[in-house]
Amino acid sequence: MNLDPNLGLTQFLTAALFVGLRIGGLMTFAPFFNSLSIPMQVKAGLTLVLTLLAAPLYAGQVPQIADGRWVIVILQEAALGLGMGLAVQFVFEGAQLAGHVLGFQFGYSLVNIIDPQSQVDTPVLSVFHNTAATLLFLNLNVHFWLLRGIMHSFIAVPPGSAVVSASAVSGLLGAAGSMWQIALQIAAPALAVTLLVDITVGFLSRAMPQLPVLTIGLSLKALVGYAAIGLGMTFWPTLFDEYFMNALRTSERLLHVMH
C-alpha cells in the first residue's frame, strides 16, 4: 500500500469512508458474500482489507464535499455498492422463484425446510435451486468478477462522485423484472411435463372413475418432474453463465449512469 506523502489525513479518511461504504454495500447484497454462513467477523475483515487496499489508490480523486451534502453523498456511495450486488442477487431470486413454482406444481408447497442462507422457512425445491445457483456462481468465478467490478468502479466513478439518477433506478428495476424470465426458463421443462401428466390423468379419471387420481397423479408428477429437472440441469451451466454475464453488464451500466 503506497500512500502519497502529499495526501492529507482528512482526505485519506474521507476516501476510506466512501470506499468502505461502496464495498460494504456490495458485501451486504451480493450473493455468497451476504451469506449468513460466513461469520460477520470475516465479512468485516474482508471489507476492511479491501478498503485499506483501495483507499490510498483513489484518495486523490475525492472531490470537495460541501457540508450540507455529506449525508447525500454517503447514501449515494452505499447505493452504488448495493445496486451492483442486487444486480447479481436477482439471478438467485429468479432461481428460487422457479423452485417456488415447481414446488407448488409438484404438490410440495407445504414441504419446507430452514434455508441455511437466509434462516427462514423455505420450500425445499427453492433451497435446492438456490444451492445449485450458488455452486454455479462459485464454479464460474462470478465472485471474483464482482470484486474486480467493485474495484473498477472507483475508476469509472471516483469515490464521492456517485449520483443516484432515474436512469440508475430504472436499470435496476429492469434487472429485477428479469427474475420472472429466469424463473420461467429454469422451470419450463418440469412445468411442461407435469402439465401433460395432469391432463393425461384428468382424461383417465373421466374414463375410469374408480382410478385413485390423487395418489397416482402426485406420484407420477413427482417422478416425471424430477426426471425433467435432472435433464434440464445439463443446460444450467450455460444458462447461468448467461444470466450472470447479463447481471454483470447491468452493474457496468449502473456505473455509467451513476457518474
DSSP string, 7-70: S-HHHHHHHHHHHHHHHHHHHHHSTTTT-TTS-HHHHHHHHHHHHHHHHHHHGGGPPP--GGGH
Q: Are 54 and 136 in contact (CB under 8 A)?
A: no
Task: Answer yes or no: is 35 within a domain.
Answer: yes
Which pLDDT tens digit goes with each residue over 121-139?
Answer: 567 888 899 999 999 999 9
Task: Answer yes or no: is 122 within a domain.
Answer: yes
Task: Answer yes or no: is 60 within a domain.
Answer: yes
Which pLDDT tens digit goes with each residue over 146-188?
Answer: 999 999 898 888 888 888 888 888 888 888 989 999 999 999 9
Task: Answer yes or no: is 99 within a domain.
Answer: yes
Higher pLDDT, 215 or 92: 92
Domain limits for position 38: 9-257
Task: Answer yes or no: is 3 within a domain.
Answer: no
- Domain tally, the chain: 1
Counting DSSP H helices and E strands in the chain, the numbers are 8, 2
Task: Answer yes or no: is 2 within a domain.
Answer: no
Task: Answer yes or no: is 38 within a domain.
Answer: yes
Task: Answer yes or no: is 4 within a domain.
Answer: no
